[in-house]
Structure 1
């Protein structure tokens, strides 16, 4: 069960994202919590969140949000690949540095999503809403990172 914790967190994040919750009466977009899960666990405990789990998280998100099948898995797997390639840099750094890394990852995810959706629709779509959602996601990262760090130490490492 301990090994499944990050995957379950990712799936829970997808379910929360799919719920019709509107923060501040729709004035603030819902953060993309599965991206936070993928980034955090890829840095600190990649063995607990393997690629098939990330694929399943993304596929569930595609099914629940009505997006093109394979788009979110591709974004999350790309994020995992980039994070794993830079993992040694992030380990042992201040949380500000990791947070900045997450902000760059969120920006890259935004560009990939925007390009894919623009190509699929045949027109350059506005990026403002997506950029605002990724900015919100980046702003909530420290809160979830702190909770995940506590969970990682208490449940996965100490037990």
Structure 2
């Protein structure tokens, strides 16, 4: 039996859910608020989302989607174009190498893996900015943003798991 038009639309909407949620969260967390130094500690929901969806539903977070999201993030933040996509694509490559193991592991091991990959991604981001821009960028904002990203990972992971169970049944 062929699916109806509305069933196909429903399937497409469900397939686009991880990309759309990631894009909306990224934009939401980039909204400038009048709080001093807040941008230095706002977690990278883009990194969290890419980690989760690449790990559990790589079919819904393909490489082109990761590149697009990172490029949009670079455009919105004003950092050097290409740094974000480069780092996130390396992040995905590292994650894909361990995906089968990590998808079946306990949450503490998963969180430790996220801690490691996130720390490497933030460190690489700092090094690339150091190499590509004049002057020495301050490392403290990178350090604190990484800490807040790691700290809020469980909450976002739980939220994404709820979305996956309710909307994206395999």
TM-score, length-normalised on structure 2? 0.86
Aligned-partner Cα distance in 2 for 1:126–1:28:
10
User: Structure 2 vs 1, CA of residues 25 and 75 (structure 1 numbering), >3 Å: closer, same or farther?
Assistant: closer
Match of 1:153 in 2: 165
Name which of structure 1's ranges 132-141 and 88-97 shifts more when overlaid on structure 2.
Answer: 88-97
Q: Is the 8 A contact 1:62 1:72 kept in 2?
A: yes
Q: Is the 8 A contact 1:22 1:29 kept in 2?
A: no
The answer as to 2:75 corresponding to 1:63 is yes
Shift in Å at residue 23 of structure 1?
7.3
| Higher gyration radius (CA) | 2
Q: Once the two structures are superposed, what CA deviation does each residue of 1:113-154 show, in whole Å capped at 9, x if it has no partner?
A: 111100012444221110110110010000000010111111
Match of 1:81 in 2: 93
Aligned-partner Cα distance in 2 for 1:95–1:24:
34
| Aligned counterpart for 1:130 among listed residues 126, 138, 142 | 142
Q: Is the 8 A contact 1:43 1:84 kept in 2?
A: yes
Shift in Å at residue 80 of structure 1?
1.0
User: Structure 2 vs 1, CA of residues 14 and 44 (structure 1 numbering), >3 Å: closer, same or farther?
Assistant: same
TM-score, length-normalised on structure 1? 0.92
Aligned-partner Cα distance in 2 for 1:118–1:28:
17
- Aligned residue pairs, count: 158
| Aligned counterpart for 1:13 among listed residues 18, 21, 25 | 25
The answer as to 2:110 corresponding to 1:98 is yes
Aligned-partner Cα distance in 2 for 1:9–1:27:
21
Q: Is the 8 A contact 2:91 2:121 kept in 1?
A: yes
Shift in Å at residue 112 of structure 1?
1.0
Aligned-partner Cα distance in 1 for 2:106–2:89:
25
Shift in Å at residue 20 of structure 1?
1.0
Aligned-partner Cα distance in 1 for 2:36–2:148:
13
Match of 2:58 in 1: 46
User: Structure 2 vs 1, CA of residues 113 and 149 (structure 1 numbering), >3 Å: closer, same or farther?
Assistant: same
Aligned-partner Cα distance in 2 for 1:105–1:24:
28
